[in-house]
Amino acid sequence: MEPSDIMTCDPNVLSGELVFTGTRVPVDTLFVYLASGDRLAEFLSDFPTVSKNQAVAAIQLAKERLIHHRVGRPVESAA
pLDDT tens per residue, range 18-54: 999 999 999 999 999 999 999 999 999 999 999 999 9
Residue 29 near residue 43 (C-beta atoms within 8 A): yes
Among 3.40.50.450, 1.10.10.10, 3.40.50.300, 3.60.21.10, name the CATH number for the domain at 3-70: 1.10.10.10
Of the candidates 38, 35, 24, 22, the one whose C-alpha atom is nearest the C-alpha of residue 62 is 35
pLDDT at 79 > cutoff 70: no
Q: What single letter denotes the amino acid at residue 22?
A: G
C-alpha of 5 from chain center: 12
The pTM (predicted TM-score) of the whole model is: 0.80
Residue 53 has, within 13 A of its CA and on its CB side, a CA count of 7
pLDDT at 57 > cutoff 70: yes
> What residue spans define the domains of the chain?
3-70
What is the C-alpha end-to-end distance of the chain, expressed in Å?
Answer: 40
pLDDT value for 52 = 98
CB neighbours of residue 29 within 10 Å: 16
